[in-house]
């Protein structure tokens, strides 16, 4: 788990190279195709990686 949810480090093959919020939201925004990835419950927040890129 990350600070507030799963860490992207739990899925390194999928999230390799993710360094910006826009990359996160390109898959996890509710307006994106929900078949690609689970949607974020807070797509207007910023700093996705601050909470979801921690060591576990």
Rounded-to-integer distance, Cα 46 and Cα 51, Å: 10
25 domain-assigned: yes
For residue 18, is it within any domain?
yes
Task: Tell me if 1 is assigned to some domain.
Answer: no
Task: Work out how many domains the chain is built from and give that number.
Answer: 1
- Per-residue pLDDT band for 34 (boundaries 50, 70, 90) equals confident
Residue 3 placed within a domain: no
C-alpha to C-alpha distances, 29 to 39, 44, 55, 56, nearest whole angstrom: 6, 9, 23, 24
Q: What is the pLDDT of residues 1-32, one digit of tens each?
A: 445 678 899 999 999 999 999 999 999 999 88
2 assigned to some structural domain: no
Q: What range defines the domain where residue 26 resides?
A: 8-52
User: Which pTM was predicted?
Assistant: 0.77
């Amino acid at each position: 788990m990350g600070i507030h949810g799963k860490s992207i480090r739990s899925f390194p093959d999928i999230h390799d190279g993710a360094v910006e919020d826009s990359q996160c939201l390109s898959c996890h925004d509710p307006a994106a195709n929900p078949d690609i990835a689970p949607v974020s419950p807070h797509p207007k927040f910023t700093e996705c990686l601050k909470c979801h890129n921690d060591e576990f």
